[in-house]
Amino acid sequence: MTEKIKGWTKSRPFQIFLVVLILAFAGVMSWCSLMFARQEITIEADGKTIAHKTLKVTVDEALKEAGVELNGGDKVTPALTERVVGGMNVVVERAFPVQVTADDSVQTIYTTRVPVKDVLTLASFSLGDDDKVSPSLDSIVNPGCEIKVIRVKQETVKEQFPIPESSEKKADSSLTKGQERVLEKGSPGEGERTIKVVYEDGKEVSRETVEEQVVQPPVNKVIAYGTKSPVTTHAAPTKVASRGGSSNLSYSRVLSARSTAYSSGTHTATGARVGPGSIAVDPSVIPLGTRLYVDGYGHGVANDVGGAIKGNAVDVYFSTDAECRRWGVRTVNVYILN
């Protein structure tokens, strides 16, 4: 019996059976080792959670194995290059379109929920120091978000402007109250202002004056105004008393004046010889050559002037100092004869 068994084990059919048995056992062991070597991970994508077992090495390979397709801009956590580890949770965040408007163009960028500044980096937009962005750079974008970039430019310009002259008034006793005379015309000056101009996308939006300076100062206008009281005028002929009695005089006006007397000199301001009837006046009030009648003195001619005779004042001539002293200083009516 033993010899039969030994003979059978040495036979070719037995050897074939033994080989097949060993291969089957090896296959079973290999399958078991593979089953125990598979890593189980969780995949979150498109609102679903998938439990997946894989022998793949990287996250990218495992997702492809699980049939999860990725689009441009999709964000995967952990990164696609990470090695698969048992119990790993892989999250796929789908990208959505965001419109970026800048420099008169619109660009569509696919991205996930990231800050606006990251989207601009993806779009290769560079920002100037004064440029404006809406929403703000730190805002997180959402589906349907539109990003607006406003290019801001500033420049400085200079502008000339007129400076109006002022009016300056001075009293003038030679002018009657209510009268004025321009002594100096005056002229406007010139100034220069520095203006900051702001443009947004090429359109001016604001102007701000940052500095003003005077280039040419203005010259003030100088006006003289009268302080002298107006004289009283009469138009009708009147009878007046004189040293020799009463006379009918025709005069154009009469004024009340301060009167003094003098007896010196040989010639008057008009060149005539001085004598009784010579009367010194202020030519701005009574023109030289005017025929006069002075109460208490009589007829005379305005043909002389005096340094102290200003305004409503007359200085009548007498031949002697004694007569001058008797006349003294008095207020008289002076008639301007026709």
Taking only the tens place, the pLDDT of each residue in 321-335 is 999 999 999 999 999
Report the CATH fold assignment for 96-150.
Ubiquitin-like (UB roll) (3.10.20)
Joined tokens for residue 66: 């699980």
Q: Is the pLDDT score of 9 beyond 60?
A: no
172 vs 228: CA distance, rounded Å: 8
Q: Alpha helices of the chain — where are they, by DSSP H?
A: 2-9, 12-37, 59-66, 116-122, 321-327
Task: Compute the chain's Rg from CA coordinates.
Answer: 60
Work out the average pLDDT over 19-48: 68
Work out the average pLDDT over 265-294: 90
Q: Is the pLDDT score of 175 beyond 60?
A: yes
Q: In which order are the strands placed within the sheet that holds 203-216?
A: 152-163, 189-200, 203-216
Q: Is the pLDDT score of 284 beyond 70?
A: yes
Q: What is the CATH class of 39-93?
A: alpha beta
pLDDT tier for residue 31 given thresholds of 50, 70 and 90: very low
Joined tokens for residue 29: 């062991």
* Number of residues assigned to the chain: 338
110 vs 112: CA distance, rounded Å: 7
Domain-wise residue ranges, the chain: 2-36, 39-93, 96-150, 155-227, 238-337
Q: Is the pLDDT score of 59 beyond 50?
A: yes
The model's pTM? 0.47
Work out the average pLDDT over 4-19: 61
- Exposed/middle/buried for residue 192 (C-beta within 10 Å: 0-12, 13-18, 19+): middle
Establish whether domains 39-93 and 96-150 are of one fold.
yes
Give domain 238-337's CATH superfamily.
RlpA-like domain (2.40.40.10)
42 vs 54: CA distance, rounded Å: 11
Mean pLDDT of the chain: 85
Give the pLDDT confidence of 246-260 residue by residue, as tens digits.
456 788 899 999 999
**Which of 2.20.230.10, 3.30.300.30, 1.20.1740.10, 1.10.357.10 would CATH assign to domain 155-227?**
2.20.230.10
Q: Is the pLDDT score of 212 beyond 50?
A: yes
